[in-house]
Chains A and B, each alone.
Chain A
Amino acid sequence: MTDTGIGARVRRKEDKRFITGHGNYTDDINLARQTYAYFLRSPHAHATINSIDTAEAAKAPGVLGIFTGDDLAADSIGGLICGWLIHSKDGSPMNAGGHPALAQGKVRYVGNEVAVIVAETHAQAKSAAELVDVDYSVHDAAVDTGSAQASGAPQVHEEAPNNTVYEFGLGDEAATNAAFEGAAHVTELDIVNNRLIPNAMEPRAAIGAFDQGTDAYTLYTTSQNPHVARLVLSAFIGVAPEHKLRVVAPDVGGGFGSKIFIYAEETVCVWASKKIGRPIKWVAERSESFQCDAHGRDHVTNAKMALDKDGTMLGLRVKTIANMGAYLSTFSSAVPTYLYTTLLSGQYNIPAIYAEVDAVFTNTAPVDAYRGAGRPEACYVIERIVETAAREMGLDPADLRRKNFVTEFPHVTPVIMTYDAGDYHASIDKACEMIDYSGFGKRKAASEAAGKLRGLGFSAYIEACGIAPSAAVGSLGAGVGLWESAEVRVNPTGNVEVLTGSHSHGQGHETTFAQLVSDKLGIPVDQVEIVHGDTDKVQFGMGTYGSRSGAVGMSAVYQACDKVVAKAQKVAAHVMEAAEGDIEFKDGSFSVAGTDKSMAFGEVALTAYVAHNIPEGMEPGLKEGAFFDPSNFTFPAGCHICEVEVDPDTGVTQVVDWVAVDDFGTVINPMIVEGQVHGGIAQGVGQALTEGAVYDTESGQLLTGSYMDYCMPRAVDLPELRLAFTETTCPSNPLGIKGCGEAGAIAAPAALMNAVTDALGVADMPMPASPQNVWAALQGAKQAAE
């Protein structure tokens, strides 16, 4: 092993260029004769387009072309797709509704793309857009998640009666009903998982470029999965054949899920670049990001848990309405179904679970995966209801959890997951120790003496990462397989390029993937270059989301490295005239067992490329590829505990302590993993304490459309986070990795809201625990007490 191998705290290789302003983001790329696109968007949540008059705008300075949905239709460009087909309980397929890249006939949310104006400059395109005259007939809008299915609600898509996309069910309803009959205690909660806006630091951007010489297109775009973008744009939308479309996702400044999806803007830029005959760049303004990046969460849920008198869990029943927004985004349908209901068992042995999810259309921005995607919502339901049950029954919330933990693996839950490994007692015990759980009473008294209300909250979360294997996800409706690929190219001089289908947009793959190669091939990390994000360079890949790059992407690299070593071993054996079985590979050196004969890795590589002296029949070179398709999801789990202090005078909540004990399996780089946990917790604290998209419930106007009103978490909102790891290795991949990218965002909201409700002494209150909401909850509690 090298000192830059697995487990080392290697500084991030990519940071130098990011910190010194040498990153290469989509907007840093400027092509010759580049033009600029501006999208005219609907100011209405729901309207029929009677006519679009572009005559005046077309005459404006610098304008090169104006296109509408009619132009897309004339070119037989298909609509944007949703790649996961969900079936309702009655077996019927979901009601999708069309999603043209530029509106055709109707607009369905504020920000819906109506026309694109292409001009010499961005300012010219924007000014010309003001001259486009669109005649709308405005309709009432369906905005609220909970009432979208009500009779008489405005209909978003004709294809979806009552705005219902599907009525999904999972689990055994009869067994669950039976579990509730005669249960000693039933806890019921009505909870809302607030809607979030992603807010990646880099707004979405795209450059479409058509090359007349080769009849081929190039799309530079802010994507977490460029190959999937190419596949969708070619096979489903029909912009260009797959081999005539190159998609490049260069440095990408954060995604959190919002850059998985294939959006209207990149589709239009690449298509229109041929019509204009010049490259077209579009960069979202922050206002557009707020309106049009796919939002996250937005569930309304009723949950009931049945327990016997000593606190043993008997059953769980969950009914959720999930807001899909105005159109089904790329993976949206899977989020509240197979990424949500399947995790409702939490860390617990619950004999019977039945979950129903109605997905609904509303006149709001599309909703899709956002850091955690379904799993934060599941964790929030289960951890809020367990905490509430403990309070109602007068049980210690840690003990109630311990009593019901899954302890034997593999464990098959009633919601189709097979937990493969874990030690939930270890993480809660460690977390309780770190936060000094037994000393909480004293701290609460001290807070009270200072006029503050103190609360403590647990979140014993579990998530399913990797999103695999392909056959399994295929049987559940996924349109693609969810494996990953890698190619390890050893150069003649012995340094290495790794081509991966994973995509780094903040995760630090250039460091961690290099650490794996360093560990496997015995060369320093600075001898390893990670190549990703370009369909012309990298073999097919599925991209990065769902905490899958370590468990799936790195496993493919692992396998490719094994193949490289196997071939090199043959070469080394041949050169050193030894039996292949006698060759040992250690610390970057091939040696013949029991002798002092050895060859460095680089020497072997050179030998393979020079090919003067390699085994007969062996192909020259040293380059191997691998596709890895895991046997199961991975199941990271852990326990977070936080303490808050609430100022009853103002409603301000301060998070005063936070411990997180996570089991991610094998950890490649503890520093990067800690960074992922920090970021995840910050995002989860954002959801629970500060964030929340607000639409005017009648007009469908987005009221939190800028940082004036959408409140991101700040450094002052977080205490010093105290982290620890426990480790059970994952059996479904060779590295034993479980994944760490989403854990913090999954665990944090429940921990924080359990703590806030504990401090306030209320059963529930809506997220975020903003000063106004906390003050209102306190007023409500006061009134109830009077």
Chain B
Amino acid sequence: MYEFTYHRPATVDEAIALLKSADDGKLLAGGHTLLPTMKQRLASPSDLIDLGGALATGIDVSNGCVTIGAGTCHADVATSSDVANAIPALAKLASMIGDPHVRNKGTIGGSIANNDPAADYPAACLGLGATIVTSAREIEADDFFTGMFDTALGDDEVITSVRFPVPAKAGYSKFPNPASRYAMVGVFVSSAKGGIRVAVTGAGPCVFRQGDMEAALEGDFASSAIAGVTQADGDLNSDIHASAEYRAHLVGVMARRAVDQATG
């Protein structure tokens, strides 16, 4: 790890001011991606701005929405009875992220801002049609995840909370990478007033919606409805653990299991 200046601002505004004034600042919101990267000397920010004291934490369920403060760690979401009652699939997803260390340190805001192609939370955001609330505006999940590690966030914009509309039904099925436990393929499905959503993480360079499956589920929200829907493998990831072809196959299997879970 190279040397850096550590800051722990008390407010988001202060954090943004620090970020603007830093030569090459980075925000820290849990750090389970950034700190190992720094230890590997693959990143050397001049300033590390720890949001631990600035971000809101906590979960609020009201007006048909689950709103989670950006500083809330995965373990709190996983064990929240409010989340379990409103959107059980979201609590389950949080319980499957990483390991106990990651779940107790990593935050929902950090995970979403990082937008790792194999992270779990982006699937929940896209699969539920969440709204990402930032220091400057509100961004719909459909517009937020723009590419591999890319989001619609501006340079000096900080996520403050995430608002998930409560669906009628939802399910998340994840096939973890055998080694890292990141999602090799994870599929989040939901059925709500606004329609059907099928979001796929881990399979491609960025979380994406599976339109064919959504269409098939529109009239019949049952796993049998998507039994014949195949995922094209052309743009999927390929690595030593899973070829694109295998990932495409798993998208189908995980989607059916997620629907079964939602309807079961």
Contacts and interface: CB of A to CB of B under 8 A. Distances in A.
- A–B contact with Cβ pairs below 8 Å: the answer is yes
Interface of A: 123, 126-127, 287, 649-651, 690, 694, 703-704, 707-712, 770-772, 775-776
B253 A704 contact: no
B7 interface: no
B100 to A, nearest CB: 13
Interface of B: 1-2, 40-41, 175, 177-180, 182, 240-243, 246, 249-250, 253
A709 B177 CA distance: 9
Contacts of A776: 246
A649 B179 contact: no
A204 B243 CA distance: 35
A704 B177 CA distance: 13
Given A694-B240, A770-B241, A772-B242, A709 B1 contact: no
B240 A707 contact: no
B45 to A, nearest CB: 16
A709 to B, nearest CB: 5
Contact of B179 (A123, A650, A709): A709
A707 B179 contact: yes
Nearest to A710: B179
A771 B249 CA distance: 12
26 contacts: A123-B1, A126-B41, A127-B2, A287-B40, A650-B175, A651-B246, A690-B179, A694-B240, A703-B240, A707-B179, A707-B180, A708-B179, A708-B180, A708-B182, A709-B180, A709-B240, A709-B241, A710-B179, A711-B179, A771-B178, A772-B241, A772-B242, A772-B243, A775-B246, A775-B249, A776-B246
B35 to A, nearest CB: 15
A175 B35 CA distance: 63
A279 B41 CA distance: 27
A710 B180 CA distance: 8
A101 B20 CA distance: 49
B227 to A, nearest CB: 11
B241 A649 contact: no
B178 A770 contact: yes
B124 to A, nearest CB: 22
B1 to A, nearest CB: 7
B162 to A, nearest CB: 27
Contact of A772 (B41, B182, B246, B253): B246
A637 to B, nearest CB: 32
A694 to B, nearest CB: 5
A772 B179 CA distance: 13
A770 B246 CA distance: 12
Interface centre among B178, B179, B243, B246 (most CB of A within 10 A): B178
Nearest to A126: B41
Contacts of B2: 127
A649 to B, nearest CB: 5
Contacts of A709: 179-180, 240-241
A710 B177 CA distance: 11
A772 B2 CA distance: 38
Contacts of A712: 179
Nearest to B3: A123
A707 B243 CA distance: 19
Contacts of A704: 240
B34 to A, nearest CB: 16
A656 B180 CA distance: 23
Contacts of B249: 775
B4 to A, nearest CB: 13
The 7 closest A-B pairs by CB, nearest first: A711-B179, A708-B180, A711-B178, A649-B253, A772-B242, A694-B240, A772-B246
Interface centre among B1, B240, B243, B253 (most CB of A within 10 A): B240
Contacts of B241: 709, 770, 772
A305 to B, nearest CB: 33
A690 B240 contact: no
Nearest to B1: A123
Given A704-B240, A770-B241, A690 B180 contact: no
A562 B225 CA distance: 78
A724 B53 CA distance: 56
Interface centre among B1, B2, B180, B182 (most CB of A within 10 A): B180
A101 to B, nearest CB: 25
B212 to A, nearest CB: 19
Contacts of A694: 240
B250 A650 contact: yes
Nearest to B239: A709
A650 B253 CA distance: 7
A240 B242 CA distance: 51
Nearest to A771: B178
Contacts of A772: 241-243, 246
B175 A690 contact: no
A109 B41 CA distance: 22
A160 to B, nearest CB: 29
Contacts of B182: 708
Contacts of B246: 651, 772, 775-776
A707 B241 CA distance: 13
A551 B192 CA distance: 68
Given A709-B240, A775-B246, 15 more contacts: A123-B1, A127-B2, A650-B253, A690-B178, A690-B179, A703-B240, A709-B179, A709-B180, A709-B241, A711-B178, A770-B178, A770-B241, A771-B242, A772-B243, A775-B249
